[in-house]
Amino acid sequence: MINFNVPPYTGKEVEYMKEAIENQKICGDGPFTLKCNEWIEKQTGTTKCLLTTSCTHATELAALLADIKEGDEVILPSYTFVSTADAFVLRGAKAVFVDIRPDTMNIDETLIEDAVTERTRAIAPVHYAGVGCEMDAIMDIARRHNLMVVEDAAQGIMASYKGKPLGTFGEFGCFSFHETKNFSMGEGGALLIRDEKYIETAEIFREKGTDRSKYYRGQVDKYRWQEYGSSYLPSDLNAAYLYAQLELAEEITQARMDRWKQYQELLTPLAESGRIELPFIPEHCSHNAHMFYIKAKDMEERSRLIDFLKERGVHAVFHYIPLHTAPAGKKYGRFHGEDRYTTKESERLLRLPMYYKLTADQVEYIAEQVKTFYGVSE
């Protein structure tokens, strides 16, 4: 079976984890955590990066820093992972869903402004498949309505919009290092902070509500409980695993891009004949080959294709069930406007295997099976 995902592994992870153990520092904010933070800061140009236990927790931190309160509203796409909404709903906010663009599967920037009310506090764009949302338009809306922007860049590391790294446009950006992502620490994430004024408060929230970070830097003689907070620090063992991959970020990204381009080349004839649709990458966006998907005619055809591929040893999967159709989505959110594309496009989308060290032969085999399903076998 060709798995849909295989967690990335470079070979140095165990060596670095052993080093972390020998450092006798395996809790949070050890040497490898700091190395990861510094690498991300240098790569993205963000003012501050704080490694977290997950992208979910990074988004929760962002919601705390944005001072989201009960009764507030946050605008986001319904086609996203639950964590995008959870972080704000936990603060008592209502999730206001708007439709997506069918070409990129990102939030439709032209529909956001109509969803703004006097209760709106933030916009949470999601960069689906590492392809940037239309951030110029989104940031313009945010400026004119005095809204915060929290970027869900869970899939967006090493990708950019008009040359600027994803996750660095809004006040806060959130990365994921889950085992399904381009770089992994098993479970983990990172919060990117644009404005220096939020850094100290972010450190306090992240360190159980204490100024422990300042204590470790020798800025205070003892640390004290300063504010409410929680523990969002990953173990340095996890950070050591991640750092081995960040060191090879360019190599890993290029390997994924090679396979992505191979899929595109092999399946373009099917798209040109109208049997499937392929991912669309706007010219001003540079993606990271996080995902390769195709779109079938409808859910029934997609289900048959999934079964067909499974019988031939290929694990292909669909993606999100739109949040506004879920029980919690109905309870904690509302859909603004018409659902023209969110549900319809989500029912067509099928993700093909994509991971570091996926081979050219495997991609050729997968593409051949897809062609066979559509009766275009070579």
> Average pLDDT in the 292-305 region?
98
- pLDDT number for residue 88: 98
| pTM for the structure as a whole | 0.97
pLDDT of 299-350, one tens digit each? 999 999 999 999 999 999 999 999 999 999 999 999 999 999 999 999 999 9
DSSP string for residues in 100-124: BPTTT-SB-GGGTGGG--TTEEEE-
Q: How many residues are listed for the chain in this entry?
A: 378
* Percent of the chain surpassing pLDDT 70: 99
Amino acid at 208: K
Strands 160-161 and 164-165: antiparallel
* Percent of the chain surpassing pLDDT 90: 94
Domains along the chain with CATH numbers = 13-246 (3.40.640.10), 249-373 (3.90.1150.10)
Task: Return the DSSP state at 374.
Answer: T
For the chain, the average pLDDT equals 97
Q: How confident is the model at residue 259 (pLDDT cuts 50, 70, 90)?
A: very high
- pLDDT number for residue 365: 98
DSSP string for residues in 246-305: HTTHHHHHHHHHHHHHHHHHHHHHHHHTTS-B-----TTEE-----EEEE-SSHHHHHHH
- pLDDT number for residue 378: 59
pLDDT of 168-219, one tens digit each? 999 999 999 999 999 999 999 999 999 999 999 999 999 998 888 887 788 8
Exposed / middle / buried, residue 266 (Cβ in 10 Å: 0-12, 13-18, 19+):
middle
DSSP string for residues in 11-43: S-HHHHHHHHHHTT--SSS-HHHHHHHHHHHHH
Tokens 């950006």 belong to residue: 173
- pLDDT number for residue 224: 87
pLDDT of 4-59, one tens digit each? 999 999 999 999 999 999 999 999 999 999 999 999 999 999 999 999 999 999 99
- pLDDT number for residue 223: 86
Q: Exposure pattern of 171-183 as b/e (b: 16+ CB <10 Å)?
A: bbbbbbbbebbbb
